């Protein structure tokens, strides 16, 4: 199946790439709940892909039937490694490649990756050019409003487009803003007026009403942290933006906890299927803690769930 940012139905509804969260099990759960969602991998090192690192190559696995369109997000700073990684990603059948130019984590930025590229526009453009050079699948970029101000957002993004970027996703904070304060979408709307490719807005999408209110002149919205413990958020957004339903009470609030349990167990089963029993259940613990937030006896259940080693244990704890 081919994917193209220009021909794919709009508005786009995308699940933001999140390290340690958007693995295959989470993406597949989201796609079962909201099939129209565009999903991204966790950000993966182009250096690791270039050298065929086993762990990273395993993180590239996906289900072509369930996860389409499937975007692989990458980070790095070596144009040659971007070129070779792009070839690998295309050969694996991914729908597109996204370059991370927005991660504010200190370890990432200190290596001249992620948000650090905002300060190095020439290298940023070379990375887009190298990625596009030998692949036919689309190449997009996810970035922020700027390093410490928004003044260079339009010229920075225009340079990316001039070198081949097919779409842009913009988080409504600067690097210095990290994840604090309120996301500012106004500069993203202004960017859209000055750019020729699709633009997706990201930041502080916690309800379908947020998505409707923030869409404005953009081509789509991207939700991330709002899905923690609430994968149904993506269905609410799709219903509102794609199917035209009036945003109402969030699904997560209208469902009883008993109704959520089959989805939670399915997430666990997918995690075990994708990563094996030990690792799959270990990585599910953070999700399980989010799923029980706010319910009666949450603290007691959380204390048990952060030690679970099997799906049966989860079932027993949730149904007790």
With 90 as the cut, is the pLDDT of residue 12 above it? yes
Q: Confirm if 99 and 142 have CB atoms less than 8 A apart.
A: yes
Architecture label for domain 257-319: Orthogonal Bundle (1.10)
Arithmetic mean of pLDDT, 62-78: 96
CATH topology agreement for domains 12-248 and 257-319: no
Instruction: Report the topology of domain 12-248.
Output: TIM Barrel (3.20.20)
289: left (phi over 0), alpha (psi -120 to 50) or beta: alpha
With a pLDDT cut of 90, the percent of the chain lying above it is: 94
pLDDT in the model for residue 86? 97
Distances (CA, A) of 272 to 25, 186, 280, 312, 320: 8, 42, 5, 12, 22
Cis upstream peptide for 69 (omega within 30°)? yes
Compute how many other C-beta atoms are within 10 angstroms of the C-beta atom of residue 35: 12
Burial of 276 from C-beta contacts in 10 A (0-12 / 13-18 / 19+): exposed
Average pLDDT, the chain: 96
With 90 as the cut, is the pLDDT of residue 1 above it? no
82-134 pLDDT, tens digit per residue, is: 999 999 999 999 999 999 999 999 889 988 899 999 999 999 999 999 999 88
pLDDT in the model for residue 90? 97
Arithmetic mean of pLDDT, 53-74: 95
pLDDT in the model for residue 179? 86
pLDDT in the model for residue 112? 84
Arithmetic mean of pLDDT, 184-202: 98
With 90 as the cut, is the pLDDT of residue 189 above it? yes
The domains of the chain are located at: 12-248, 257-319
Burial of 10 from C-beta contacts in 10 A (0-12 / 13-18 / 19+): middle
Q: Confirm if 43 and 100 have CB atoms less than 8 A apart.
A: yes
pLDDT in the model for residue 120? 96
| Sign of the torsion angle spanned by Cα atoms 203, 232, 1, 12 | negative
What does the alpha-carbon distance between residue 39 and residue 149 come to, in Å, rounded to a whole number? Answer: 29
pLDDT in the model for residue 251? 96
Beta strands 12-15 and 44-45: pairing type? Answer: unpaired
Residue 157 annotated among the catalytic residues of the structure: no
pLDDT in the model for residue 276? 94
pLDDT in the model for residue 29? 98
269-312 pLDDT, tens digit per residue, is: 999 999 999 999 999 999 999 999 999 999 999 999 999 999 99
> Which entry of 103, 157, 238, 268 is annotated as an active-site residue?
103
pLDDT in the model for residue 76? 96
pLDDT in the model for residue 177? 86
With 90 as the cut, is the pLDDT of residue 236 above it? yes
What does the alpha-carbon distance between residue 142 and residue 164 come to, in Å, rounded to a whole number? Answer: 14
Compute how many other C-beta atoms are within 10 angstroms of the C-beta atom of residue 161: 17
With 90 as the cut, is the pLDDT of residue 178 above it? no
State the virtual CA torsion across 248, 192, 200, 137 in degrees, nearest 10: 140
pTM given for the model: 0.96
16-51 pLDDT, tens digit per residue, is: 999 989 999 999 999 999 999 999 999 999 999 999
What does the alpha-carbon distance between residue 74 and residue 55 come to, in Å, rounded to a whole number? Answer: 14
């Amino acid at each position: 199946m081919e994917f193209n940012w220009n021909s794919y139905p709009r508005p786009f509804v995308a699940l933001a790439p999140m390290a340690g969260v958007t693995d295959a099990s989470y993406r597949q759960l989201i796609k079962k709940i909201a099939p129209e969602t565009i999903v991204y991998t966790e950000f993966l090192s182009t250096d690791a892909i270039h050298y065929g690192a086993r762990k990273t190559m395993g993180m590239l696995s996906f289900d072509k039937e369930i996860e389409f369109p499937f975007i692989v997000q990458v980070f790095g700073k070596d144009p040659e490694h971007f070129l070779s990684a792009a070839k690998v990603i295309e050969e694996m059948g991914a729908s597109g490649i996204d370059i991370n130019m927005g991660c504010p984590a200190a370890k990432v930025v200190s290596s001249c990756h992620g948000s650090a590229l905002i300060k190095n526009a020439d290298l940023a453009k070379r990375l887009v050019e190298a990625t596009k050079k030998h692949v036919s699948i689309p190449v997009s970029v996810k970035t922020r409003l700027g390093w410490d101000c928004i003044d260079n957002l339009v010229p920075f993004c225009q340079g990316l487009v001039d070198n081949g970027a097919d779409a842009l996703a913009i988080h409504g904070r600067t690097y210095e803003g990290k994840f604090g304060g309120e996301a500012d979408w106004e500069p993203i709307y202004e960017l859209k007026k000055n750019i020729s490719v699709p633009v997706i807005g990201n930041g502080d999408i916690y309800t379908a009403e947020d998505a409707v209110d923030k869409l404005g002149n953009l081509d789509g919205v991207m939700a991330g942290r709002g899905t923690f413990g609430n994968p149904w958020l993506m269905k609410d957004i799709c219903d509102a933006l794609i199917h035209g339903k009036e945003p109402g009470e969030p699904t997560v609030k209208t469902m009883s906890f008993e109704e959520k349990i089959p989805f939670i167990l399915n997430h666990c089963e997918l995690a075990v299927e994708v990563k094996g029993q030990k690792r799959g259940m270990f990585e599910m613990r953070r999700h399980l803690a989010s799923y029980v937030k706010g319910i009666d006896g949450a603290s007691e259940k959380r204390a048990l769930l952060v030690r679970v080693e099997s799906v049966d244990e989860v079932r027993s704890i949730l149904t007790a």
